[in-house]
Amino acid sequence: MPWEIVPQGDRCLVLVFGDQVNIEIGLKCATAAAALRAARIDGISDIVPTFNSVALHYQPRPSGADTGFRHLAGEIDKVLEQAFARNAAPITPRQINIPVCYGDAYGPDLAHVAQHCHLSQDEVIRLHSETPAHVFMLGFAPGAPYIGMHDPRLAIGRRSTPRTDVPAGSVAIANLQTMIYPNMSPGGWHIIGATPLVLFDPFESPAALLAPGDTVRFIPISAEEFLAARHERA
């Protein structure tokens, strides 16, 4: 099977699909998570897809009940065999447009990224926005997406010194990925722009704008368009 099921403590198991970060493996994780949510296997309380694995949290029951690791692993295998069968319909990812105002006060690291990558600032914007990217997972903070993989010409690591306060909506890159900060927080990625969209609102359902498996297209906008969108939202 193209996956491995391993125990993680006494109330979690992990589906492992590989040891790399790429869109093919990310799509397998998203497909598995969607199929398992639809299956509603008794005992599983939470399903968390990541870059190359899916964590399944479950509630253990007294000895002999059908919610132990072996029983759950068998039920999971049945669901995934059907989800990954040759005649199974592939999942259709949501297409989400994320407007981004690049550079200047909204993207204070854009010039540094361009210099590091031996590109102009316009080329960085073009490479970041021209190709749709994949949402691998949410992490770090509620609703914070890890999005990739970007053009290799945008290769840059994290900042040597993280910022203590990154504004909400900041669009930042590192390791060929994008992080969008949903609220004010520390952060060590290079900020190249900002979006007026709200990434996480606990009063909405769902609370997070993005979900693993989504496809994102970054749309360059002007500072005037950014401010107008923020004003309209307020």
Query: Domain holding 190: CATH number?
Result: 2.40.100.10
Bridge partners of 147, per DSSP, are 135, 178
Structural Rg of the chain based on CA atoms: 20
Confirm whether 88 is domain-assigned.
Answer: no
Q: 21 with 106, same domain?
A: no
Q: What is the DSSP letter of 200?
A: B
Number of domains into which the chain is organized: 2
Q: What is the pLDDT of residues 62-114, one digit of tens each?
A: 655 555 778 888 999 999 999 998 777 777 889 999 999 999 999 999 999 99
Question: For the whole prediction, is pTM greater than 0.85?
Answer: yes
Residues 79 and 100 both lie in one domain: no
C-alpha span between 156 and 117 (Å, rounded): 7
26: confidence class by pLDDT, cuts 50, 70, 90: very high
Q: What is the mean pLDDT of residues 6-33?
A: 92
Same domain membership, residue 57 and residue 167: no
| pLDDT attached to residue 134 | 95
What pLDDT band is residue 43 in, cutting at 50, 70 and 90? confident
- We report the CATH number of the domain holding residue 70 as 3.30.1360.40
Q: Is 6 left (phi over 0), alpha (psi -120 to 50) or beta?
A: beta
Residues 54, 110: one domain? no
Is residue 163 classed as helix, strand or coil in its secondary structure? strand
Q: Are residues 15 and 114 in the same domain?
A: no
Q: For residues 15-23, give the mean pLDDT.
A: 93
Q: What residue type is 175 in one-letter code?
A: N
Domain boundary among 83, 114, 140: 83
- The pLDDT tens digits of the residues spanning 155-213 come to 999 999 999 999 999 999 999 999 999 999 999 999 999 999 999 999 999 999 999 99
Read off the tokens for 85.
């069968």
Write down the mean pLDDT value for the chain: 93
67 alpha carbon, distance to own chain's centre? 29
Cβ-contact 84, 2 below 8 angstroms: yes
Residue 78 domain boundaries:
4-83
Q: What share of the chain is helix, strand, coil (3-state, %, to 5)?
A: 30, 30, 45
